[in-house]
Homo-oligomer: A and B are copies of this chain.
Amino acid sequence: MSHDIDAAPVGTPPSRRATIRRASERGHYDRDTLHAIVDAAWLCHVAFTDTRGHDESGEPFAVCLPTACWRIGEALYIHGSNGSPMMRRLASGVNACVTVTHLDGLVLARSAFSHSMNYRSVVAYGRFTVVPDADKPAALDAFMARLLPGREHEARPADDSELKATLVLSMPLEEASAKVRNWGPRDKDQDGDHPAWAGVLPLATTRLAPVPDERSRATGQPLPPSVRAWLDADPGPAPFSS
Show the binding face of A for B, using Cβ within 8 Å.
15-17, 19, 21-22, 42-43, 45-50, 52-55, 59-66, 68, 80-81, 83-86, 95-99, 101, 103, 106, 108-113, 115, 117, 119, 121, 123, 125, 140, 144, 147-148, 151-152, 154-159, 162, 166, 184-185, 191-192, 194, 196-217, 221-224, 227, 230, 237, 240, 242
In the assembled complex, 22 residue pairs joining A and B whose CB atoms fall closer than 8 Å, in A order, are A19-B53, A22-B83, A43-B101, A45-B45, A45-B47, A49-B49, A49-B62, A60-B60, A63-B97, A63-B123, A66-B99, A66-B121, A103-B205, A111-B162, A112-B152, A113-B159, A148-B201, A197-B223, A198-B213, A199-B211, A201-B211, A203-B206
A230 and B215 contact, Cβ closer than 8 Å, known pairs A45-B101, A64-B45, A208-B237: no
Do A66 and B101 touch (CB < 8 A)?
yes
Do B184 and A115 touch (CB < 8 A)?
no
A165 → chain B closest CB, angstroms: 8
A142 to B106 CA separation, bound complex (whole angstroms)? 16
Do A48 and B22 touch (CB < 8 A)?
no
Do A16 and B101 touch (CB < 8 A)?
no
Chain B residues in 8 Å Cβ range of A52: 17
A50 → chain B closest CB, angstroms: 8
Chain B residues in 8 Å Cβ range of A43: 101, 103, 117, 119
Do A155 and B53 touch (CB < 8 A)?
no
Main secondary structure of the interface of A (DSSP, over half): mixed
Chain B residues in 8 Å Cβ range of A221: 197
- Scoring A45, A55, A200 by chain B CB atoms within 10 A of each residue's CB, the highest score goes to A45
A240 to B210 CA separation, bound complex (whole angstroms)? 12
In-complex Cβ contact of A151 among B98, B108, B209 (8 A): B108
Do B155 and A115 touch (CB < 8 A)?
yes
In-complex Cβ contact of A99 among B65, B113, B194, B211 (8 A): B65
A62 and B96 contact, Cβ closer than 8 Å, known pairs A45-B45, A184-B213, A210-B199: yes
